[in-house]
Chain A
Amino acid sequence: MDLPPTIPTSFVPRSTFTSARRKFRSDFTDVFGLFAYAVLGIVFALALGIFFYGRILAGAQASKDAALAKAEKAIDPATVRGFVQLRDRLTAGQRMLGNHIALSNFFKLVETLLPANVRLSTLHLTLDTTKKVRLEGSGVAKSFNALAAVSNAFAADGRIKEAIFSNIVVNRDSSVSFTLSATLDSKIVAFSP
Chain B
Amino acid sequence: MNSRILPTLALLVSVGIFFAYVQPTWSGPLAVTKASIASDDRALAAANTYTMQQNQLAVARNAIDPRDLTRLARFLPGSVDNVGLILDLNALAARSGLTLSNIDVITNAAAPAKSAAAGAALSSAASPIGSAELSLSAVGTYAALQTFLVGVEKSERLLDVQDLLVRGSDTGVYSYRMKVSFYWLR
Interfacial residues, chain A to chain B (CB-CB below 8 A) = 29, 32-33, 35-37, 39-40, 42-44, 46-47, 50-51, 53-54, 57-58, 60-61, 64-65, 67-68, 71-72, 74-75, 79, 83, 85-86, 88-90, 92-93, 95-97, 99-104, 107, 119-131, 191, 193
Contact = CB atoms under 8 A, between A and B. Distances in A.
Contacts of B48: 71
Contacts of A39: 10-11, 14
Interface of B: 3-4, 6-8, 10-11, 13-15, 17-18, 21-22, 25-26, 29-30, 33-34, 36-37, 40-41, 43-44, 47-48, 50-51, 54, 57, 61, 69, 72-73, 75-76, 78, 113-114, 116-120, 122, 127-129, 145-146, 149-150, 153-154, 158, 160-168, 183, 185
Contact of A89 (B8, B13, B47, B75): B75
B10 A57 contact: no
A61 B36 contact: yes
Contacts of B47: 68, 71-72, 74-75
Given A33-B6, A39-B10, A85-B78, 13 more contacts: A36-B8, A47-B17, A64-B41, A71-B44, A74-B47, A89-B73, A92-B129, A96-B158, A101-B162, A120-B168, A122-B166, A122-B167, A127-B160
Contact of B14 (A29, A40, A65, A120): A40
Contact of B30 (A50, A126, A128, A193): A50
B119 A53 contact: no
B118 A127 contact: yes
Contact of A57 (B7, B15, B34, B158): B34
A29 to B, nearest CB: 5
Contact of A47 (B22, B122, B162, B183): B22
A36 B10 contact: yes
A88 B145 CA distance: 33
Contacts of B14: 36, 39-40, 42-44
Q: From DSSP, what is the main secondary structure of chain A's interface residues? A: helix
Given A71-B47, A72-B47, A119-B168, A89 B7 contact: no
A88 B75 CA distance: 12
Q: 9 closest Cβ contacts across the A-B interface?
A: A36-B7, A71-B47, A64-B40, A33-B7, A43-B14, A104-B149, A40-B10, A88-B128, A36-B10
Contacts of A46: 18, 22
A103 B162 CA distance: 9
Nearest to B21: A47
Contacts of B160: 99-101, 127
A83 B154 CA distance: 27
A185 to B, nearest CB: 16
A57 B11 contact: no
A125 B163 contact: yes
Contact of A93 (B13, B72, B117, B168): B72
Contact of A36 (B11, B21, B128, B165): B11
A48 B138 CA distance: 90
B134 to A, nearest CB: 14
Contacts of B114: 127, 129
A60 B76 CA distance: 48
